[in-house]
Amino acid sequence: MTICEGKYYDGLSAKPHAALLSCDDRHSSYQLTLLESKEILKFEAGAIDFDPPLGKTSPRTVRFPNGAKFYTEDSDKLDTLRGKYKVSFRNPQVLASLLENHRQAIVISILILAAFVFVAYKYGIPAVADSVAKKVPRSVLETVSDNTLETLDKYFGFAPSNLPEERRGELLATFDQLIFEIGSPEYSYKLEFRDIPPNAFALPSGTIIFSDSLIEELVTEEAIIAVMAHEVAHVEERHGMRQVLRQAGVAFLVSTLLSDVSSLPAILSALPELLISSGYSRSFESEADAYSADYLCHRYGSSQGMVDALERLQSLYGMAESESTEFISTHPLLSKRIEMLEELGCE
């Protein structure tokens, strides 16, 4: 007669009881003998459940109708006691047990998981993020943008502008005219200046920041307007929120795969930092370039202003660019962007 040794928990206390589990020859009834008290408990076969094996060394569990459990590390003997049984795929452990004992099933499962992760990363997360970004209310956009600008000023050394007041007035008038022509009333557009290295970027609410040095580097008003229109495109298409939500979605997917969903609040609280550091994807930058070029074509009959702006940026930063870095870059090389604009022209 097969006897399986283990620990019995009566479900009333955490105290374990050394016990032996055995069955009759027909596997129709089971007997549990408590070694210390010599008490014998009997159960009909249909009244108890055997958890399937999960891993070669994992303890096995027998569950009794009164909530009690019997744990054993002797999986082989427990299988002998259990005899033939009907597989129930409603129990996830049964499916896991079957999968882990078939190498082909393991390989197929890994491939399916990899395919799911790829599809979720490539298509699912962007689609969901874009849909959510379009529904984010104006009040949230303004809160995120205000927090981001405050963080930039406080921790990233964004110094107040040193542009002459007259020059700032001219730029603000140019910007107001641009917003009148292409800006949506859905956003609270305003132009800010900071004394930082050459750069310009847009926050989701419609706040656009220009650096003093970029204004000085862009020698024509048309180039400045081109960059303004480019940043307006990022606002109108909600590129900032879409990019941030995509990155948050990827972080959430990784956390879920690692069974660490507790990190979700931290991900959400880091949205302003993500907005600062994430930049835009290649498609977003190309879309904004095309938007700016289209506006310039309608206003001036030429998109040369955007080309001039990118060429000036290339002269400042393009030395670090090469074909080898394009593969790992999240945005297109400046040379590629210039090439695309020249190919587009003004149809």
Phi/psi of residue 110, each to 5°? -65, -40
Mean pLDDT, residues 286-292: 94
Give the Cα separation of 276 and 240 in Å (integer). 9
The helix-helix angle for 239-257 and 125-135 (nearest 10°) equals 130
Q: How far is CA 81 from CA 22, 26, 47, 94, in A?
A: 7, 10, 15, 17
Q: What is the pTM of this model?
A: 0.68
Residues 259-268 have pLDDT tens digits of 555 555 555 5
Rounded Cα–Cα distance for residues 206 and 178 (Å): 13
| CA–CA gap between residue 64 and residue 17 (Å, rounded) | 15
Tokens of 335: 């040379």
The count of other CB atoms within 10 Å of the CB of residue 116 is: 13
What mean pLDDT do residues 274-279 have?
A: 59
- CA-CA distance, 337 to 319, in Å (whole number)? 15
Token pair of 261, please? 């969903």
What pLDDT does 322 receive? 46
Using DSSP's 3-state secondary structure scheme, residue 306 falls into helix
Q: Any idea which residue has 């379009």 for tokens?
A: 134
End-to-end Cα spacing for the chain? 90
pLDDT given at position 328: 35
Give the integer Cα–Cα distance in Å for 152 and 158: 6
Residue 241's alpha-carbon distances to 127, 143, 156, in angstroms, are 13, 12, 21
Is the pLDDT at 165 greater than 90? The verdict is yes
Residues contacting 131, CB < 8 A, separation 6+: none
Q: What number is the average pLDDT over the span 22-30?
A: 84
And the tokens for 246? 């995509």
Better pLDDT: 93 or 24:
24
Distance from C-alpha of 32 to C-alpha of 42, rounded to nearest angstrom: 6
Number of C-beta neighbours around residue 99 at 10 A: 14
**Alpha-helical segments (H) within the chain:** 75-82, 92-100, 103-119, 125-135, 138-155, 165-182, 212-217, 221-236, 239-257, 264-269, 271-278, 282-300, 304-317, 323-326, 334-344
Please give the average per-residue pLDDT across 188-211, as a whole number. Answer: 95
- Give 331's pLDDT tier (boundaries 50, 70, 90): low
Q: What is the largest CA-CA distance in the chain?
A: 100
pLDDT tens string 77-123: 888 887 754 444 455 555 555 555 667 767 887 888 889 888 988 88
> Which residue from 287, 209, 274 is spatially nearest to 247, judged by alpha carbons?
274
pLDDT tens-digit profile of 215-235?
999 989 999 999 999 999 999
% pLDDT > 70, the chain = 81
pLDDT at residue 305 above 80? Answer: yes
Question: What is the per-residue pLDDT for 94?
Answer: 53
Contact residues for 144 (Cβ-Cβ < 8 A; gap 6+) = 203, 204, 205, 241, 271, 272, 275
What is the dihedral angle through the alpha carbons of 210, 215, 220, 221, rounded to the nearest 10 degrees? 50
Contacts of 276 (CB under 8 A, 6+ apart): 148, 151, 152, 156
In single-letter form, the type of residue at position 175 comes to F
